[in-house]
A and B are shown apart, each in its own frame.
Chain A
Amino acid sequence: MANKQIIKERRLQDDAWKVVTLVDGEAPFDVCLPVGPLLVPVAVWKAKKACLIHREYEHGTPLGIWLAPGDDLAEIAADLDDFTVIAVHFPKLADGRGYSTARLLRERHGYDGELRAFGDIGRDQIFFLNRVGFDAFVIGEGKSAEEALAAFDDFPETYQAAADQPDPLFRRRVA
């Protein structure tokens, strides 16, 4: 099987991270953790925090977490330093909660590690995702990652401040 690919630094790169999900009815502390760098759901992080941190310290396995659209940031706000990667899931293209999540992580909580978007996202979401603070993108199934690379430059200028631009245009405008 070909390696999974991810867009980072505006190019396609191989990606070794695995997303751990809970199957229906599975208790968070029961979940079996595969080897290698993992993105775990919030419930698993809370249930197996000690074990996950141990893996990182003892085996050097980097640690990550993934957030569902409705997850409460307050639950992990104190732990942000523990994560090498925070991933935000977009189960449906039309569910835009993850855009607010990203801005809050970057602008409110000062998270400066990798912030990746994954799920139902593609070329037409990249520009906005990049603006709200994502710096890594796993393009959804059946969509072209190569095509998505072109989207970073869709707009030459933007009106609002966001994670990529601390000042709104009206503070930068030269008459």
Chain B
Amino acid sequence: MTISSVGAGALGVTALTFLYPNLATRRIVGSDIAHAVPLTLVAGLGHWWLGTVDVVLLVSLLIGSLPGIALGAHFAARVPERALRGLLASVLLLIGGKLIRESRPQGKLMYKYDDYDHSIVQARVAQFRGQTERYLAGTLSDDEFRPLRLQNGLYIQRHGPMLRLAVPYGLLSAAQLRRFADVARRYDRGFGHFTTRQNLQLNWVKLPEVPQILADLAQDELHAIQTSGNCIRNITTDHFAGVAADEIADPRPWAELLRQWSTLHPEFAYLPRKFKVAISGAKEDRAAIQVHDLGLQLVRNDAGELGFKVHAGGGLGRTPLLGQVVQESLPWQHLLSYTEALVRVFNRYGRRDNAYKARIKILVKAIGREEFARQVDAEWAHLKDGPATLTTAEVERVTAQFAAPAYETLAENDLCHLAHLREDKAFSRWVERNVQAHKVAGYAAVTLSLKKPGAAPGDASSEQMEAAADLAERFSFGEIRVSHEQNLILADVPQRELYTVWHRAKAAGLASPTVGLIQDLIACPGGDFCSLANARSLPIAAAIQERFEDLDYQHDIGELELNISGCMNSCGHHHLGAIGILGVDKNGEEWYQVTLGGRQGNAARIGEVIGRSFAAAEVPDAIERLIATYLAHRHADERFIDTFDRIGEEPFRTAAYPHPHQSRRVANG
């Protein structure tokens, strides 16, 4: 009662009414009020002493309440008992309703399952349990089981099965991250790998245990639905959604609407190839939407109405292509019907004769953007304004679940924080790289780095996941995100807590102050784990991280995106790195091809191969020569990519191949 002040009247009278049903209500009210005198006197003095009494508010309350109470007491004696009880009940009910309504948005930062969502995920767990049992019993063949297990994220890899768990649009609660930690410890080797598509991979699970893993996960609204296979995959978005200053609209409600629409979609479970969707709601694209099969950019028209700029046919892999615009401004109501039309065109006309030519990008490229858009429009004409048309009520229902947390009103700059920045060089370096601006005054977004020499990029131990979950719970409203750069994000940290967060993150090995620098490189699991890979990525990543371990050197080099893929499937997005490294196989040996000039974001561009590939041992030297070229040519405040854009590829190529006879261009390898 002393904390909330709710209770004296509301709870006390209700309890007394039940305890003494035969006592007249006015006697109950009277006794309760009398009992409140010594009680509130003590509590009030306590608050006075703590300095939490507002004198102006106190006086104005007394001016109203003293005459009110006198009148009330006078009339209470004359009103019939029944009416008084009824009146009391209705007032309590009103207060109750209001309390529930007001508290709801504060407790909901992310989509919470209702009974429908739970029943669907539970049913998938049961279905997969049956499928696994039939496979293990031999009644389901390898060929039959393959698409079924893939649609539930289960690969058969070098060391056994790999299970990819979904992190829908990269958003997790602290409880969910703890569940991941628990599952990794219980069923795997105590760590997991966060991927460029914001998911989590477990590399050492045992097939017979997978149904139980899924059952455990389902308790926290987690699953592995459609994290692989030729279906609509997990939808990804901006890891700063909801907090970025440059946001046009929050992409998360739309990602959730698409998640529901695509989950167990009966028509699209056997597409020609996988189908990846990314959505961005900010001016700067942090979700790499242009390299997705379907990339959605939230836009507002002149009337302020929300819509989507739709890109189709982007993707990396063997044929890297940027998506083409097929809708400039699709009104939000049509998001699902238009997407359904687009995926249907892909399902019917995408190539199925060659897995390498089956992505939608090949279809868009083959028939051209205009013809593809025409076919989608023709299909959409039948679906438009049909039942899939989104309603305001549904959008509001989902949007309400992503309501902003209960931010405190804070000053733009916390004085203690500024003092720490001045006095602690290591802290200020971390803030410079790992702390991003927030749209609410006094708050910041923190990147917990999953990159450090000696550890595979994106790997997190169960202990680290738990430490991150603790930090989220204590300092960031219990919510955490996975970025497609394979780090974890605390999106809503008060500035005054940054110093504490840094210390704790450091203790957990999550505070490499290198976000955006060369050590923050992106790499797929590569040949050490993945059966598709042509070469290993992790030893190359480690060698580069070691070469550039010196923090001063790294900070001097500045922002540099370096991406490594172990094969043409490009899970490490090497085409998008300012420096990209691709593992290739030459007569059973691992070689590495280097691309330059790739970039993500609004001005996304595919990097180009600079020449012959390098042996593994040559890679760190070659990278160092490229960086030396940049350092020699850069203007003040120019990033690697800016210098590259200004002076072109030639000086870099010359530096990469000091012996001229080696610099002839080769097509693929």
A residues adjacent to B (C-beta < 8 A):
93-97, 99-100, 103, 108, 122, 124, 127-129, 131-132, 144, 147, 154-162, 166-171, 173, 175
Contacts and interface: CB of A to CB of B under 8 A. Distances in A.
A93 B148 CA distance: 11
A147 B134 CA distance: 11
Interface string B264-294: 1111111100000000000000000000000
12 contacts: A96-B230, A99-B266, A99-B267, A108-B382, A128-B264, A155-B123, A155-B264, A158-B264, A161-B387, A162-B266, A173-B116, A173-B394
Given A99-B267, A100-B267, A161-B387, 17 more contacts: A96-B268, A96-B269, A96-B271, A97-B347, A100-B347, A128-B269, A132-B266, A154-B126, A155-B124, A156-B120, A157-B119, A157-B120, A158-B266, A160-B266, A168-B336, A170-B391, A173-B397
Contacts of B265: 159-160
Contacts of B268: 96, 99
Interface string B386-405: 11101100100100000000
Contacts of B500: none
Given A94-B230, A95-B270, A155-B264, A167 B120 contact: no
A35 B260 CA distance: 48
Given A99-B347, A128-B266, A131-B266, A154 B131 contact: no
The 8 closest A-B pairs by CB, nearest first: A96-B270, A131-B266, A128-B266, A170-B394, A155-B123, A159-B260, A99-B267, A161-B387
A85 B303 CA distance: 51
A163 to B, nearest CB: 9
A95 B349 CA distance: 12
B375 interface: no
A100 B272 CA distance: 13
Interface string B331-356: 00000100000001001100010000
B263 interface: yes
A162 B230 CA distance: 20
Interface size class of B (residues with CB under 8 A): 35 or more
Nearest to A108: B382
Contact of B139 (A127, A132, A144, A154): A144
B344 A161 contact: no
B131 A124 contact: yes
A157 B266 CA distance: 12
Nearest to A128: B266
Contacts of A144: 139
B147 interface: yes
A132 B267 CA distance: 7
B127 A154 contact: yes
B52 to A, nearest CB: 38
A168 B261 CA distance: 8
Given A96-B270, A127-B266, A160-B266, A155 B120 contact: yes
A103 B267 contact: yes
Contacts of A122: 144
Contacts of B391: 170-171
Contacts of A96: 230, 267-271, 347
A103 B267 CA distance: 8
Contact of B388 (A99, A147, A168): A168
A147 B391 CA distance: 40
A12 B382 CA distance: 36
A8 B77 CA distance: 74
A168 B387 contact: yes
Interface in B236-274: 260-261, 263-271
Contacts of A166: 387
A156 to B, nearest CB: 5
B144 A159 contact: no
Given A94-B147, A158-B120, A171 B387 contact: yes
Interface string B287-324: 00000000000000000000000000000000000000
A122 to B, nearest CB: 7
B394 A159 contact: no
Contact of A99 (B114, B126, B270): B270
Given A99-B347, A144-B139, A167-B387, A159 B261 contact: yes
A159 B121 CA distance: 12
A93 B120 CA distance: 24
Could you say which of A103, A132, A157, A175 has the most chain B C-beta atoms within 10 Å of its C-beta? Answer: A157
A89 B481 CA distance: 44
A162 to B, nearest CB: 5
